């Protein structure tokens, strides 16, 4: 959904808060997070909890139940079953698989429970997705890298968790972009599991084998580590690489004048999903149905981008937060409301 934020801002003034009050109810929403390997996930949950708290000002009481743990797919399916047994009104899930939840989501629908995935799309016709287009996320940064290299050079890619739906969409995205630049060659692709230390080691190994690479496409969670290896190899001036949205990396970026660009997958996506969920629970109807994405059930949010032209502005905006804090964005209650009739 192109220019979603612009649409929201232009129409939000027409949205009547009295309508919210008229439809106010109390809801219980379950949040399922199947991986806790980064502060990004912690911030995601905290922002969703804050969004639920903000509904109190509109007279809507939201009880949030959180199940957040490192679990495999069966373990996260158990999260969903627990929420069904507890009789929640909605489930918002950051899923560990795009397809494995179809049966349990069908059970949730049969129980009258709304299901929304975020951060990674799911195939279930009984769920909708609210978040960014992960393929588009990768395409934006890959295009930045290709244009920065003037369409030629050797690049490497450092990816996240193999098989994770978001990772697979991102891989498809950058590959598709680089295919459009015949003079760019991907000389190696590795996985470092969205872990900064693994990203640093992967970059160190790559530079030992490919000391003359021109560019690095690396996913968030690992870019800071990759850049530290680039710094250790004294190649900051000769390599362009994608970056992070964490404060500690942005400070490092500015301090060392990195040639970097970063697509933003904001931790606020779960908060956006929660605000959309409340309106759906109130019986509101979207102006435009959630029909985007590979499964035809996605409501895509805008993807901010950080580059050399705005990195200092972003640094000012997140100043005062701890180093692990990620630059974020989310639909406010009013902005989410503007998507509904």
pLDDT of 88 strictly over 80: yes
Alpha helices in the chain (DSSP H): 4-11, 17-22, 39-54, 73-86, 102-110, 134-148, 165-179, 196-209, 223-232, 247-256, 269-281, 311-317, 333-337
Model confidence pLDDT, tens digit, residues 248-291: 999 999 999 999 999 999 999 999 999 999 999 999 999 999 99
**Above pLDDT 70, what percent of the chain?**
93
pTM above 0.75, yes or no: yes
Note the pLDDT of residue 8.
40
pLDDT of 80 strictly over 60: yes
Element (H, E) at 153: strand 152-159
Model confidence pLDDT, tens digit, residues 140-199: 999 999 999 999 999 999 999 998 888 999 999 999 999 999 999 999 999 999 899 999
Note the pLDDT of residue 165.
83
**Which of 2-16, 42-56, 161-175, 267-281 is predicted with the least confidence, judged by mean pLDDT?**
2-16
pLDDT of 114 strictly over 80: yes
Q: Cβ distance 106 to 124 under 8 Å? A: yes
Question: Residue 5 — pLDDT band, cuts 50, 70, 90?
Answer: very low
Note the pLDDT of residue 12.
38
Query: 3-state class of 51 per DSSP?
Result: helix
Long-range residue pairs from 171-178, CB within 8 A, at least 24 positions apart, any chain: 171/138, 172/135, 172/138, 173/134, 173/135, 173/136, 173/137, 173/138, 173/139, 173/142, 174/138, 174/139, 174/141, 174/142, 174/217, 176/135, 176/139, 177/138, 177/139, 177/142, 177/143, 177/146, 178/142, 178/146
Question: Residue 16 — pLDDT band, cuts 50, 70, 90?
Answer: very low
Domains and CATH numbers, the chain: 4-132+266-304+327-337 (3.40.50.2300), 134-263 (3.40.50.2300)
Calculate mean pLDDT across residues 225-237: 97
Burial of 288 (0-12, 13-18, 19+ CB in 10 A): exposed
Note the pLDDT of residue 24.
52
Average pLDDT score, the chain:
92
Place of tokens 């009295």: 18
Note the pLDDT of residue 37.
76
Structure tokens at 278: 């409340």
Calculate mean pLDDT across residues 220-231: 95
Ramachandran bin of 320, using left for φ above 0, alpha for ψ from -120 to 50, beta for the remaining angles: left
Note the pLDDT of residue 112.
98
Task: Report which of 202, 240, 241, 199 is spatially closest to residue 222, judged by C-alpha positions.
Answer: 199
């Amino acid at each position: 959904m192109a220019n979603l934020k612009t649409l929201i801002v232009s129409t939000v003034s027409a949205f009547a808060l009295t309508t919210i009050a008229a439809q106010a109810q109390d809801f219980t929403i379950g949040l399922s997070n199947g991986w806790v390997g980064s502060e990004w996930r912690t911030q995601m949950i905290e922002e969703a909890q804050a969004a639920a708290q903000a509904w109190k000002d509109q007279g809507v009481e939201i009880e949030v139940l959180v199940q957040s743990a490192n679990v495999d797919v069966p373990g996260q399916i158990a999260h969903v079953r627990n929420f069904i047994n507890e009789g929640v009104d909605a489930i918002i899930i950051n899923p560990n698989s795009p397809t494995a939840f179809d049966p349990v989501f069908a059970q949730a629908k049969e129980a009258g429970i709304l299901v929304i995935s975020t951060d990674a799309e799911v195939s279930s016709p009984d769920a909708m997705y609210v978040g960014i287009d992960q393929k588009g996320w990768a395409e934006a940064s890959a295009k930045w890298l290709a244009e920065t290299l003037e369409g030629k050079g050797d690049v490497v890619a450092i990816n996240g968790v193999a098989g994770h739906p978001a990772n697979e969409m991102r891989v498809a995205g950058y590959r598709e972009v680089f295919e459009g630049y015949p003079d760019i060659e991907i000389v190696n692709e590795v996985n470092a599991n969205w872990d900064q230390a693994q990203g640093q080691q992967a970059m160190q190994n790559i530079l030992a084998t490919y000391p003359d690479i021109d560019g690095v496409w690396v996913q968030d969670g690992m870019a800071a580590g990759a850049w530290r290896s680039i710094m250790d190899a004294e190649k900051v001036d000769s390599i362009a690489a994608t970056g992070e949205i964490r404060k500690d990396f942005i400070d490092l970026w500015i301090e060392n004048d990195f040639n970097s660009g970063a697509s933003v997958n904001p931790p606020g996506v779960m908060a956006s999903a929660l605000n959309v969920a409340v309106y759906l629970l109130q019986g509101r109807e979207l102006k435009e149905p959630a029909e985007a994405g590979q499964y035809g059930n996605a409501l895509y949010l805008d993807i901010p981008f950080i580059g050399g032209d705005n990195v200092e502005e972003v640094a000012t905006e997140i100043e005062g937060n701890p180093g692990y804090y990620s630059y974020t964005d989310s639909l406010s209650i009013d902005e989410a409301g503007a998507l509904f009739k």
